DNA sequence: ACAATAAATGAATAATTATTCAAATGGGAA
DNA sequence: TTCCCATTTGAATAATTATTCATTTATTGT
């Protein structure tokens, strides 16, 4: 029903922390979390999240989230972004990122490009980015998504 | 029959150059190359090659070879290896890589780690690596595999 | 609020992929 | 060679995943 977001977040959490090799398996883990739904919907959710199935020596194939951080070769953009990032605050379910002057557009572009479902969109000024999160996505969900995009930010949130 | 190697090489070639989203599709492309076999075997071949199925905006999901070059963060090892690489020659179906003094073990380790099916194994001295290719794998197949492992070598073979 | 429209979901089913089982093939060792 | 054992393969089938279709639930416009 109205808990699609909850499901998507749970799926991300489960497959980042566990080696899951089938939808049945994932489904039962979700059910154990109180999120009961069907394989048909799970199939659609996985497609929506662009989850990949990759070779694993132990389990044959397992589900894996798409790389959210900038692709190989974009380490520069990434550390540039980390450098320009100042802070993030939330108000009324909206996020506001403050950056060093001029950094906002490129950091916002990085977010847009990696396109995590938690963040519907961004609007960048010069040193401020407005983050519009998906419904029912918590502040920490947004922050976790940000960390996946710019791993160097992790230490700022410990 | 005895053309497993030919099949594996053909699979690698096809999925690096085409977006293929099902085994049926891949099978028909292989047949067009004169390599006729069944879906059952293809399934096994894909598993053997550790081929992943990843999200693709155009075709939903497509097959992709595992990253053969050193993982993110190993660019250093990679360019170190490229720097130490001197030459490769073949004799009696064996490859002999000459390296700068001391480089052989680490370059061989890189090859072993990425473990392409074309190369069964390596033996490293100080400045020489013996490459034992898989049966029926040609010299250029070995070289192509090497380039996937150490992309910077590409220019050496043009 | 109410209709109209769109989006999400489940049940059933279709499509796809993996595996089982049996047959064929390919090496060694004597 | 010939036997033995391991590997490869195909046909059939099982298992898994995607989609269709009908229904329910949400959203939008008035």
Contacts of B65 in chain A (CB under 8 A): none
Asked whether residue A107 is assigned to any structural domain, the reply reads: yes
Provide mean pLDDT across the span B18-40: 93
pLDDT tens sequence across B136-156: 788 888 888 898 888 888 888
Verify that A109 and A150 share a domain, yes or no: yes
Provide mean pLDDT across the span A104-132: 88
Q: Looking at per-residue confidence, does B135 or B61 come out higher?
A: B61
Candidates B23, B55, B67: best to mutate against A (most CBs of A within 10 A) is B55
CATH number at A37 reads: 1.10.10.10
CB contact B15 to A (< 8 Å) = no
pTM given for the model? 0.80
pLDDT tens sequence across A61-107: 999 998 765 444 566 777 788 889 998 988 777 889 999 999 999 99
* Final residue before a domain boundary, out of A13, A44, A64: A64
CB contact B71 to A (< 8 Å) = no
CA distances from B113 to B70, B105, B126, B128 (A): 8, 12, 18, 18
Verify that A57 and A100 share a domain, yes or no: no
CATH number at B119 reads: 3.30.1360.40
Asked whether residue B69 is assigned to any structural domain, the reply reads: no
pLDDT at A141: 85
CA distances from B61 to A48, A63, B22, B57, B64 (A): 12, 13, 9, 8, 9
pLDDT at A69: 54
Asked whether residue A36 is assigned to any structural domain, the reply reads: yes
Containing domain of residue B152, as a range? 75-157
DSSP state letter for A36: -
Provide mean pLDDT across the span B35-50: 93
Verify that B94 and B139 share a domain, yes or no: yes
Candidates A50, A57, A117: best to mutate against B (most CBs of B within 10 A) is A50
Verify that A142 and A81 share a domain, yes or no: yes
Verify that A80 and A152 share a domain, yes or no: yes
Find the closest chain B residue to A60 by CA distance. B47
Q: What angle do CA B122, B125, B126 make, to 5 degrees?
A: 135
Q: Which pLDDT band, with edges at 50, 70 and 90, does A1 fall under? A: very low
ipTM entry: 0.80
pLDDT at A75: 65
Verify that B153 and B82 share a domain, yes or no: yes
* Final residue before a domain boundary, out of A64, A84, A113: A64
Q: Which pLDDT band, with edges at 50, 70 and 90, does B120 fall under? A: confident
Q: Which residues fall within 8 angstroms of residue A102, CB to CB, at 6 or more apart?
A: A84, A126, A127
Verify that A51 and A86 share a domain, yes or no: no
Query: Chain A: nearest CA to B37, how far in angstroms?
Result: 23
pLDDT tens sequence across B107-117: 998 888 888 88
């Amino acid at each position: 029903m109205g808990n699609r977001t909850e499901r998507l977040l749970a799926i991300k959490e489960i497959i980042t922390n566990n080696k899951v090799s089938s939808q049945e398996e994932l489904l039962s883990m979700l059910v154990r979390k109180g999120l009961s739904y069907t394989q048909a919907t799970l199939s659609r959710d996985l497609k929506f999240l662009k989850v990949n199935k990759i070779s694993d020596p132990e389990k044959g194939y397992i589900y894996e989230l798409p790389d959210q951080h900038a692709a190989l070769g974009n380490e520069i953009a990434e550390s540039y972004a980390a450098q320009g990032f100042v802070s993030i605050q939330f108000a009324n379910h909206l996020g506001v990122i403050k950056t060093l002057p001029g950094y906002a557009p490129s950091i916002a572009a990085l977010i847009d490009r990696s396109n995590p479902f938690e963040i519907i969109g961004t609007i960048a000024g010069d040193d401020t980015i407005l983050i519009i999160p998906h419904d029912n996505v918590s502040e920490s969900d947004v922050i976790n998504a940000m960390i996946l995009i710019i791993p160097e930010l992790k230490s700022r949130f410990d």
